[in-house]
Structure 1
């Protein structure tokens, strides 16, 4: 069998080059092997290559001139560094147009039985340029999610390979899920340890060794900081970091900062790490991400006790925590320091871990790994040769296949029917706190206040908590989320599915939350979860936060001496965490609706009589037409949206002309029915003018100072907090729209007439000119602001109150005037809201309504019109179906 390897360069120093040289040298004992090195920039390779292997240097820049077959030196020099044309330049910043020319000449004449690519960009080129009779095997040598070029080339071209080999099981599972039925054979294959004599460590020298390129991803400053935390408690111990790179000055500066110049050594790179590992008693790795780090393999083969930051792939797949090494939470310098101190002061622990490491390293023996690779290659060649179509083109014909079901979609029977977001949050906290109680005594809860609820446990309880979670009776609508971190994609599943994959790691965060997708659509419960954090114990005995913390970065173990109520459950916490914070609203907030049943014949007869007496613009359809009073039952769904997404609302005041929705239980303690006669003067009744009704809403008895004003065609779209609508000081948010008031007399629409009146009043009072209208959202209001406006502009407000239909002299008190007045007097501020307006008269109304089911807006409005593009009965049906899907849970005030 003829085997060819294709890689960016075989000449450099690094994990990929080392792994390929080791593998190629081993294969050369049995097969004809050749290496295609895209670039050569030095005379000799860093790693010794078997003389039996043929190396093809496609771009030779090792001398004074650049040489590429078929090009003159000046032509080659002109192309060097020019963006490539055969691939997207972002897929691999190191490949250029010169590589295009060289690869386009070399790959079509490859005669090997199997070609092995080692980067996604080279895989994409191989699938397009290598002869169809050649089998393709792709080897990923890094964590794919960490590639600066992203995942596109791997996900696009992997289906055209015969085999894709990933270094760890999580990486293989991720790729299989992404590709679904279009996945090729995917195998998990670790790298072999280079052959040769390896001296063993006696683990009795006071020396910690780390090795690798000095670059940001390796985070060696963390290692120096951690060593500094315990250096005084480890007299005689030294830290030695081998390697070179752009972060060398940063590491040196960190050493100098801690005054450790006599304890920390930076000797640079070495060609004999096997000897250096044998001198060490402890090895440390602090990388942000790794594929399958050779430094851990080599250290373990030498019998060194290893401590490493946990990574989504690599260290976690190699090290079994506290069996053949130690894992600590990513980025936790305190935990790293504690692990170093533990190893330095416990020789028996070093010996136990070191001996287990030697046994683990035997599984990476070059002979056993080579045998496995030979089987994979032979199987790929045989299968490829038996194929009638050669290279797969399925993804070109049909696009990249998708997995059968999104990993974030609820399985059958896990919809959470009838459950509200508040109930889901309560269920998640109840489950997590019950399990926490079973596994440790010193857990506590960080209450949400104006943020999210966090349940905190010691890292030492992590495995027991996960096991307890897997064994508990979890509501089927709840899922377990292993969040995205460091570019590695999130994973989600049931506890029984996901916990086995999480137990061996040292990740600090898990989320217990409802499945975000149900039947392909965002769930009503999406985002209503509980964050669980495990805090590492530092050398000071405290628990240290894995990241940004709201109250404290570290707390004493067992010091949570207070209790508080979160989601109706009493939970342990710290006294300082019980009190409200300056970031949260602590005042009551009510909601006011104005509503009318336009199909009521008694009400409609009164409207007709009143309209017969009206004059001027009151007679226009925009001011008094039937479309202004059409009721499709939206109020029920709008009030449901409050029940689901704003359970903090105190009282809902429904203002009507003596009408009561048939479905509404008016005896419910959170509902207050208000008649127009209770708030408007007798001579203003009956009224059919929303502007007039708005002038009196602040007179509702018992109304809170801060309240939200909603029309029945306005809905909350997802969970909301009071702080979205008000500041803690009570200032009301306003949401300007892109609509303009326009020049005087430019438009006859009643709401613009009112905007013009508002403008005149504010010009006279404050010397300003208003320009914008406001979005038709829930309108945050202050009762005192409305009272002040009614007093300052009494003539105009009273005239509006007595206009039975919309008039050209109206003010629009709650939808425009109060907002501008609040901005000018300090009672309001410009807020931010994700908002959608659906024009029900539009021809594409079905598409617009369907988009609401994506639940990607804080609120939305369904705007009616007198002229409809679709039949009214069709629109009515579409609205009902959409709103019922959006708000499927009945509120407690419904009959």
Structure 2
């Protein structure tokens, strides 16, 4: 419901100050309360109509990223279950939900290379801010998620579902918001989303020059001012987030041509991984599974995984896709570069070594190919 503060702001906007001053001294309080109450009811009816319109648009959209079922997170919020969930997949699911909703409402948008590339950032014009709120609130009613203010930072609504109006109490002052979905896999041991989400920035139009420009509300990795009529182009996810899969043809996003420039930390060469297999038996197999899972989950940008087998490999390795190669020999330290078809740059995992959090190629290599000390 629309609160009295919203009605008061509308009242101040439509009634001139001199008229308000006269009304405050001559109109009885009972009449003023009645007028403001009627204004609240009118705003509530208008908001309900606009919300239902946005809800119809969202329900007509094609949301292939819907979850299999819903569950409860450890802190009581609503989570979504996805088979085969990874951190990178969750990021792409969030992007597809938001952009599909914006497309359904015919709201122009473009991706921005954010400073924090754990998150995908979407830019819309400030003039569409009201419509963005309505369509996102409708989206969060269909696909339960949460919204907080990203700039200025204010997360006091993180526990309130985004379909509730009170979850948007900081929206008017926000220059950027973050929409978050909490996701897990069927065992509910892995939870993703709290530190990710999609950030939506509201860019203002500058008309001081002959060519209109869009000005961003905060710094990004490239530039804050772009021509308003700049051409839109497709861009791969790994150009927006160093934590993403290197497969650039997999559901790209859309950005402006001004943002299609190499970043200082961008790694353009392939990086392989080398895993040593030395301990046959159940315990050794669990070590190997753990390393493979960590690479799949936290380093999706690795190109080919080479398992260097000093012992017979377990049969389940044959079930992996073409990104895994088994080498039935054990080169001495310093000769791993002689493995057939291995990339010039690779990570070496000795038995039991694994990754415990999302990583980027830049965590290990410089763009010129030199190794970064760890």
TM-score, with normalisation over the residues of structure 1? 0.31
Deviations along 1:764-816, whole A, 9 cap, x unmatched? xxxxxxxxxxxxxxxxxxxxxxxxxxxxxxxxxxxxxxxxxxxxxxxxxxxxx
CA–CA separation in structure 1 for the residues paired with 2:149 and 2:75: 15
Q: What's the counterpart of residue 574 of structure 1?
A: 256
Question: 1:490 Cα deviation (Å)?
Answer: 3.9
Question: Which structure's residues are more often helix, by fraction?
Answer: 1
2:149·2:170 contact (CA, 8 Å) conserved in 1? Answer: no
Deviations along 1:596-643, whole A, 9 cap, x unmatched? 23439xxxxxxxxxxxxxxxxxxxxxxxxxxxxx52612112211111
1:467·1:499 contact (CA, 8 Å) conserved in 2? Answer: no
Report matched runs for 1:413-428 at 5 Å.
413-416=79-82, 418-428=84-94
CA–CA separation in structure 1 for the residues paired with 2:148 and 2:94: 12
CA–CA separation in structure 2 for the residues paired with 1:446 and 1:453: 8
Deviations along 1:402-440, whole A, 9 cap, x unmatched? xxxx99946255355542111111111111112222344
Pick from 110, 125, 128: which aligns with 1:458? 125
Pick from 362, 365, 373: which aligns with 1:726? 365
Deviations along 1:288-326, whole A, 9 cap, x unmatched? xxxxxxxxxxxxxxxxxxxxxxxxxxx989634xx744x
Pick from 633, 644, 660: which aligns with 2:313? 660
CA–CA separation in structure 2 for the residues paired with 1:636 and 1:654: 12
Q: What's the counterpart of residue 166 of structure 1?
A: none
- Which residues of structure 2 form unaligned runs of 5+? 31-71, 239-249
1:479·1:494 contact (CA, 8 Å) conserved in 2? Answer: yes
Q: What's the counterpart of residue 563 of structure 1?
A: 234
Q: What's the counterpart of residue 354 of structure 1?
A: 16
Distance 1:661 1:324, change over 3 A: farther
Distance 1:711 1:543, change over 3 A: same
2:144·2:163 contact (CA, 8 Å) conserved in 1? Answer: no
Distance 1:694 1:463, change over 3 A: same
1:443·1:558 contact (CA, 8 Å) conserved in 2? Answer: no
2:277·2:309 contact (CA, 8 Å) conserved in 1? Answer: yes
1:408·1:517 contact (CA, 8 Å) conserved in 2? Answer: no
Matched residue SS, 2:275 = strand
2:147·2:167 contact (CA, 8 Å) conserved in 1? Answer: no
2:230·2:257 contact (CA, 8 Å) conserved in 1? Answer: no
CA–CA separation in structure 1 for the residues paired with 2:115 and 2:203: 21
1:546 aligns with 2:241: no
1:497 aligns with 2:168: no
Structure 1 stretches of 4+ with a deviation exceeding 6 A read: 365-368, 516-522
2:309·2:326 contact (CA, 8 Å) conserved in 1? Answer: yes
Distance 1:536 1:637, change over 3 A: same
Report matched runs for 1:145-294 at 5 Å.
none
- Which residues of structure 1 form unaligned runs of 5+? 1-168, 170-187, 191-314, 326-351, 369-405, 601-629, 681-692, 736-895
1:707 aligns with 2:349: no
Distance 1:366 1:591, change over 3 A: farther
Q: What's the counterpart of residue 533 of structure 1?
A: 201
2:151·2:177 contact (CA, 8 Å) conserved in 1? Answer: no
1:640 aligns with 2:293: yes
Distance 1:407 1:450, change over 3 A: closer
Deviations along 1:467-500, whole A, 9 cap, x unmatched? 11222377857533333736x4442243202576
1:446 aligns with 2:129: no
Greater RCO structure (CA 8 Å; 6+ sep):
2
The CA RMSD measured in Å over matched residues stands at 4.0
Question: 1:356 Cα deviation (Å)?
Answer: 11
Question: 1:593 Cα deviation (Å)?
Answer: 0.6
CA–CA separation in structure 2 for the residues paired with 1:409 and 1:357: 50
1:436 aligns with 2:102: yes
CA–CA separation in structure 2 for the residues paired with 1:489 and 1:471: 20
Q: What's the counterpart of residue 57 of structure 2?
A: none
Question: 1:707 Cα deviation (Å)?
Answer: 0.8
Pick from 259, 262, 281: which aligns with 1:599? 281
Report matched runs for 1:329-348 at 5 Å.
none
Pick from 77, 80, 84: which aligns with 1:411? 77
Question: 1:358 Cα deviation (Å)?
Answer: 2.9
Matched residue SS, 2:163 = helix
Distance 1:499 1:573, change over 3 A: farther
CA–CA separation in structure 2 for the residues paired with 1:571 and 1:595: 38
CA–CA separation in structure 2 for the residues paired with 1:462 and 1:657: 60
Question: 1:589 Cα deviation (Å)?
Answer: 0.3
Matched residue SS, 2:274 = strand
CA–CA separation in structure 2 for the residues paired with 1:668 and 1:429: 26
CA–CA separation in structure 1 for the residues paired with 2:349 and 2:321: 20
1:585 aligns with 2:252: no
Question: 1:697 Cα deviation (Å)?
Answer: 1.6
